[in-house]
Amino acid sequence: MITIRKEKPSDTAAREALLDAAFGDARFAKTCERFREGRLPASNLAFVASDGKTVIGTVRLWSIKAGTAGASLLLGPLAISETHQSQGIGGKLMRAALTRARMMGHRSILLVGDAAYYERFGFSADLTLGLDLPGEVDRARFLGLELEDGALRGAAGIVEATGARAPVSSLRHLVHAQSERAAA
Ligand SMILES: CC(C)(COP(=O)(O)OP(=O)(O)OC[C@H]1O[C@@H](n2cnc3c(N)ncnc32)[C@H](O)[C@@H]1OP(=O)(O)O)[C@@H](O)C(=O)NCCC(=O)NCCS
């Protein structure tokens, strides 16, 4: 049985392996990575899908300031292991994350991803027209979702990272993984 639950520290290695398999090294070059590097996800907003033994899906949300719209969240990366795709698990993970974010009083969520996938959850490129990211982005993939009506209305300006800094000890596994890749 597949369950969706909050991410635990012991999920780190499995989550990183899943993301490496889904995106390869390109994951570290993404503009959105600039909002995540050296920071912790937003409190209580990192989730995994598990088959009871193994982490087979991951999604995390990050604290940002969305220009004039103020406090917001950035969603991503979202990934489901290749052997478990197209079974509705990505959808379950997304809905769990969106429901929790709404319950916690967050007002909006931004992401960069395929509109053809994320539109089903209500995301739209129309809501980010006045916003900019600090780096290159395909605007058709820069999407927003209002958890509260009007939260992104007229939003303009640059999106900035506001998440808590990660303790150095929690970054060691990433430095290690990156140097191993560089040496390979
Ligand atoms: C995208 C992803 C998270 C979807 O997870 P999933 O568990 O397979 O999704 P679901 O089972 O909830 O939904 C599957 C449906 O989404 C569609 N879909 C998957 N990826 C899509 C995409 N990039 N664009 C449009 N539709 C997509 C599938 O074709 C399928 O359609 P169907 O229901 O009509 O058959 C998963 O395919 C994945 O991890 N991909 C690799 C990493 C990635 O691209 N992450 C998203 C970053 S934009």
Q: Ligand 1 mean position to 29 CA, how many Å? A: 21
In this prediction the pTM is 0.93
End-to-end CA distance of the chain: 37
* pLDDT for res 168: 80
For position 105, what pLDDT does the model report? 98
List the chain residues with pLDDT less than 70: 170-184
d(CA 35, CA 5): 23
State the pLDDT at residue 177.
Answer: 56
Q: Compute, in angstroms, the gap from residue 109 CA to the centroid of ligand 1.
A: 19
Res 73: pLDDT: 98
Question: Which residue's CA is the nearest one to ligand 1's atom 9?
Answer: 90
Q: Give the residue whose CA is nearest to atom 7 of ligand 1.
A: 90
Distance, CA 78 to ligand 1 centroid (Å)? 9
Per-residue pLDDT at 76: 98
